[in-house]
Structures are given as C-alpha cells and as structure tokens.
Amino acid sequence: MWQLVLHRMAATIPVLFLVSAGVFMLIHLTPGDPIDVMMAESVDAGVKETLRRELGLDRPLALQYAHWMGRILQGDFGRSIRNREPVIENVGRRIRPSLQLAALAMVISLVVAFPIGILSAARRNSPLDGAGSLFSLFGICMPNFLLALLLIFFFGVTLRWLPISGYSDPFEEPLAGLRSLALPAVTLGLALAAVIMRTLRSSMLEALAEDYVRTARAKGVSEWRVIGGHVLRNALIPVVTVMGLQLGTLIGGAVITEYVFALPGVGRLVVDAVFARDYPLVQGVVLLIAVGFIASNLIVDLLYGWIDPRIRIR
C-alpha cells in the first residue's frame, strides 16, 4: 500500500515540472512587463531599469527559470513584484476565504443534494424524481455568473437581506462572516448540489438493484431501513469521489464568483496577478494550485481504492 502511495507521488513529480515550465513560459510570453504596469504613469526609464535589474528580469529566460526552480526546490517561492511580500504569505492570506467559501458551498450542496438525491432514487420515476432531475439540470446548465447576478439582484439589492460584496472572517465575526459568504456559497453550492445529486441518485439506483436488497425486501425489511442500511453506504463511494475532486478544483477555480462578490480569494489573486504580469506570484500560485489539485486527486484515488477493494488503482 505504501509502495503504491510513494509510487504515485513519484509519478507526480514530472507532472509538476511540466506545470512549472508551462506556467513560466506562458506568463513570460504574454505581452507586457510588470514594472510598466506598476509604474504606468511614470516615464522614468532609469528607475524602471534599476527595478528590473534588481528583480533579475533582464537576464535570459532560461537562466531566470533555472534560478526560480532552484529556489522552489528549496521551498522559496519568491516574492510578489507588486507588493514585495513572499508569495507564500500572499497565498496564505487569500486561502482562508477560498477555503471557507469552498467549505460552506460544500455544506450547502450536501444539505440540498442528499435529501433530493435519496428521495429521487427511492421514488424513482415519480414526480418527485422528475422535480429532482429538473433541479439538477438547472444547476448544471445555469451559467454560474448569471446565477450570481440574479442572486445579487434579488437578495442583495432588492430585498437587502445579505451583503453583496466584501468579506468578513466567520472565525472572527461569525454572523457577519457567514452573511458575507452566504450568496457566493449558494452560487457555488447549487451547482455543486446538482452534480452530487445526480451522482448520488445513479449510484443509489445501482446499489438498489443489487441482490441483497431484493433479499432484504423479500424478508420484509422496511424500505427506509433498506436504504439507510447498506445501500446508502455503498452509494456514497462515488459521491465522496466526486466531492473530493470538486474540492480540488474549487479552490483555484472559483474565480468568477470571487470577482463578482469581491471576495479576496486565491482565484482572484492569481487572475489579478496575470493581469499585472506579476511573474513570481502567477508562477507560485499556479504551482501551488496544481499541487493541491494533484494531492486531492491522489487522496481520493487512495480512499477509493481502500474503501472498495474491488477496484484497485493500476
């Protein structure tokens, strides 16, 4: 088992190298220069050159890449060009809102998806099932920026129940924090709920078709006990998989939601960094997001293989 883990981890190293080379090349190919952006209104070429030299931006690209990779391997992700703070610190500041948003969105999605999913599977082809399918369709097909705009419009501006911008840390100010995360979490959570509901329904239907269920029913066990017993537990496996994978993409991927709701999260951090051509920040954050994504995939794979011995990872 541990050999498997190590083997998998070793396999991710070339992937991470590829990601690092890819992001470095890509961001350096984009037109524009971070110093020009930072000092847009100034024309002092001397100062700009000094800054460039200080940051090593005047050296050949291959050298810059080698230098950067060398420091990464020592754990030094460098400093953001715009605010001169270490990349790690920048990310650390922004990871909290992103994680909290993701967690809250997960909670909302589970609260919504589980009842609907289970009921849909239990009452298959009934109007309830139809309604559930409709809901999941809605969640998957609705562009999330449109949903965000609608939510802002109704709950934020018209009804004025919830704040539409800004962020408060729920750990510091519980009520204000939760309110500030409510609308964005609902935006993400509804879409997530749709996916989870579908997965849950189909996996439950599969589980319900198993022999032991027929046996239990024949023995007269009540429907709910049947469901609550083995069925649900077995049906959960693919659902957990899906959730784990979603979490991996959610952290760096909730950019639009973060933008529209003005949340200081990781997604917005990296997009702003791209616009500002803040090379070290873009490179460092993308690498970290990739690591997070790969790690979450690995954990899910291992969990899956461990839970369900029938399926082993090759």
Partner 1 sequence: MPSNRPRTGPRAVSRRAFLRLSAFAAGGLTPLTSPGARRAWGQAAPAPKKGGTLRVGFYVEAATMDPHLSGSKVDRQVYHNIYEPLVTLDNKLGLRPGLAESWQQPDAKTIIFKLRQGVKFHDGTDFNAEAAKFNFNRMKTEPKSVRKGELASVESVDVVDAYTIRLNLRRPDAALLATLTDRAGMMVSPKVIQEKGAELERNARGAGTGPFQFVEWVKDAHLVLRRNEAYWSKSGGPYLDQIRYRPIPDDTVKLQSLQTGEIDVMDYVQPRDVAAVKADRNVVVVDVPSLADFAYQLNHTKPPFNVKALRQAVAYSVDLEQIVKGVWLNVGVPANGPIPPTSWAYDSGIPFIKRDLARAKAKLAEGGKPGGFSFTVTTNNIPLNIQEAEVLQAQLAEAGITMKVKLVDSATLLADGNSKSFEMISYQWSGRPDPDGNTYQFYKTSPGVSLNWSGISNPQIDAILDKSRETPRQADRKKLFSELTRLLQEELPMLFIVHPIEPKAFSPRVQGYDPVPDGMMRFREVWLK
Partner 2 sequence: MAGSTRGSGFAESPPAIPAASTAPRPERRWIVLRRAARARLAPVGAAVVLLAALGAVLAPLVAPHDPLKQNLGNALARPDRVHPLGTDNVGRDVLSRVIWGTRISLVAGFASVAMALVVGSLLGLLAGYWGGRADGLVMRLMDAVLSFPPLVLALALGAVLGAGLTGVLIALSVVYTPTFARLMRGQVLSIKARDYVEAARALGASGWRIAGRHVLPNAAAAIVVQAGLSVAFAILAEASLSFLGLGIQPPAASWGSMINAGRGYLQQAPWIVFGPGAALFVTVVGLNFVGDAIRDALDPRARS
Q: Interface residues with partner 2 (CB under 8 A)?
A: 11-12, 14-16, 18-19, 22-23, 26-27, 29-32, 124, 137, 139-146, 149, 153, 157, 188, 191-192, 194-195, 198-199, 201-202, 205-206, 238, 241-242, 245-246, 249-250, 252-257, 259, 267, 270-271, 274, 282, 286, 289-290, 293-294, 297, 300-301, 304, 311, 313
Q: How far is the CB of 160 from partner 1 (least distance, A)?
A: 6
Please state, in angstroms and as integers, the Cα–Cα distance from residue 295 to each residue in 16, 38, 313, following that order.
11, 35, 15
Residue 238 interface partner, choices partner 2, partner 1, none, CB cut-off 5-8 Å depending on type: partner 2
Nearer to partner 1, 85 or 223 (CB): 85
Longest dimension (CA), the chain: 87
Which stretches of the chain bind partner 1, using CB under 8 A? 30-34, 36-47, 50-51, 82-85, 90, 93-94, 152, 156-157, 160, 163-167, 259-262, 264, 272, 275-277
Nearer to partner 2, 183 or 194 (CB): 194
Q: How far is the CB of 298 from partner 2 (least distance, A)?
A: 9
Residue 215 interface partner, choices partner 2, partner 1, none, CB cut-off 5-8 Å depending on type: none
Residue 280 interface partner, choices partner 2, partner 1, none, CB cut-off 5-8 Å depending on type: none
Place of tokens 């939760």: 178
Residue 246 interface partner, choices partner 1, partner 2, none, CB cut-off 5-8 Å depending on type: partner 2
Q: How far is the CB of 240 from partner 1 (least distance, A)?
A: 33
Residue 115 interface partner, choices partner 1, partner 2, none, CB cut-off 5-8 Å depending on type: none
Nearer to partner 1, 94 or 198 (CB): 94
Residue 205 interface partner, choices partner 1, partner 2, none, CB cut-off 5-8 Å depending on type: partner 2
Nearer to partner 1, 36 or 308 (CB): 36
Residue type, 16: L
CA atoms within 13 A on the CB side of 117: 25
- 3-state SS track over the chain: CHHHHHHHHHHHHHHHHHHHHHHHHHHHHCCCCHHHHHCCCCCCHHHHHHHHHHHCCCCCHHHHHHHHHHHHHCCCCCECCCCCCEHHHHHHHHHHHHHHHHHHHHHHHHHHHHHHHHHHHHCCCCHHHHHHHHHHHHHHHCCHHHHHHHHHHHHHHHCCCCCCCCCCCCCCCHHHHHHHHHHHHHHHHHHHHHHHHHHHHHHHHHHHCCHHHHHHHHCCCCHHHHHHHHHHHHHHHHHHHHHHHHHHHHHHHCHHHHHHCCCCCHHHHHHHHHHCCCHHHHHHHHHHHHHHHHHHHHHHHHHHHHHCCCCCCC
Residue 36 interface partner, choices partner 1, partner 2, none, CB cut-off 5-8 Å depending on type: partner 1
Nearer to partner 1, 51 or 142 (CB): 51
CA distance 142 to 297: 26
Residue 18 interface partner, choices partner 1, partner 2, none, CB cut-off 5-8 Å depending on type: partner 2
Q: How far is the CB of 163 from partner 1 (least distance, A)?
A: 6
Nearer to partner 1, 109 or 257 (CB): 257
